[in-house]
Amino acid sequence: MFIKEYFKDIFSAIKSLLVGMRRTGYYFTHHKEIITQQYPDNRLELNLPERFRGEVVMTHDEVNEHACTGCSACELACPNGTIKIINKFDISPEGKKKKAIDTFVYHLELCTMCGLCVEACPTDAIKMANTFEHSVYTRGQLTKQLNKPDSKLRAGVE
């Protein structure tokens, strides 16, 4: 009786092993079912979803105007102190003082891509871009100025 059980065990073990091996063999011979992507080679056809959070950018239109009023809502919403807004005062032709941004400092090295700044922005001035290759040689390169040089606040945005 014992010997019968013993050989039965061995037989069922080999059978279960073969069932598993058949599955492995199936994928060995069916190359079309393999879904692995060769990353650095497929860079050109790599399409990331538009919502993917890669870094914060400020949108500028063709005439180099943005929608940032310098209200600091994003600065307050950020949990890590990633954003620092330096404001200046423009003097309009009528002699009135008007607040505008001088520099929108963005520390990419502190950013966790939580998206809270974009949520908080009342004028949709900033958004998340889907670039993701951020490696640079020095840490200083990660501190960015988001507003382009000589850019202005779009008319009508309060």
Partner 1 sequence: MVEEIGKTVEGDLVINVGPQHPATHGVLHLVITLNGETIKKVEPHLGYIHRSIEKMCESLSYRQFIYTTSRMDYLSAHINNHACALCVEKGLQIEVPERAQVIRVLMDELTRIASHELWWGAMAMDLGAFTPFFHAFRERETINDIMEETCGARLTMNYMVPGGVMADLHPNFQSRVKNFLQLYKSKIHEYDELVTGNIIFQNRMKGVGYLSAEDAISYGVTGPAGRGSGVSCDVRKLYPYEIYSKLQFDEVLETAGDSFARYMVRLREMQQSIRIVEQLIDNIPDGEYQAKTKAVLKLPKGEFYQRVETARGELGVYIVSEGGTTPYRIKFRSPGFSNLSALDHMTRGEKLGDLVASMGTLDLVIPDIDR
Name which of 103 and 112 has its Cβ closer to partner 1. 112
User: Which residues contact residue 72 at a Cβ distance below 8 angstroms, ignoring those fewer than 6 apart?
Assistant: 85
Q: What single DSSP character describes residue 122?
A: S
| CB nearer partner 1, residue 24 or residue 29 | 24
Q: Can you list the alpha helix ranges (DSSP code H) found in the chain? A: 2-29, 73-77, 116-120
Question: Which listed range, 48-56, 63-71, 87-95, 143-151, lies at the site for partner 1 (CB under 8 A)?
Answer: 48-56
The total of other beta-carbon atoms located within 10 Å of residue 143's CB is 13
Using an 8 Å Cβ cutoff, are 142 and 136 in contact?
yes
In the list 7, 16, 134, 141, the residue contacting partner 1 (rule: CB under 8 A) is: 16
- Number of shown-chain residues binding partner 1 (CB under 8 A): 26
Residue 136: burial class (beta carbons within 10 Å; 0-12, 13-18, 19+): exposed
Instruction: Report if residue 17 touches partner 1, rule: CB under 8 A.
Output: yes
**126 and 68 in contact (C-beta within 8 Å)?**
yes
**By CB under 8 A, is residue 9 in contact with partner 1?**
yes
Contact stretch for partner 1 (CB under 8 A) within 51-59, 61-69, 82-90, 96-104 = 51-59
Chain positions 96 to 155 lying near partner 1, rule: CB under 8 A, are: 112-116, 119, 128
Is residue 81 involved in binding partner 1 (CB under 8 A)?
Answer: no
- Does position 86 interact with partner 1 (CB under 8 A)? The reply is no
Check residue 64 for interaction with partner 1 (CB under 8 A): no
Q: How far is the CB of 3 from partner 1 (least distance, A)?
A: 18
User: 48, 61, 88, 143: which one contacts partner 1 (CB under 8 A)?
Assistant: 48
Q: CA angle at residue 87 from 117 to 146, to 5 degrees?
A: 50
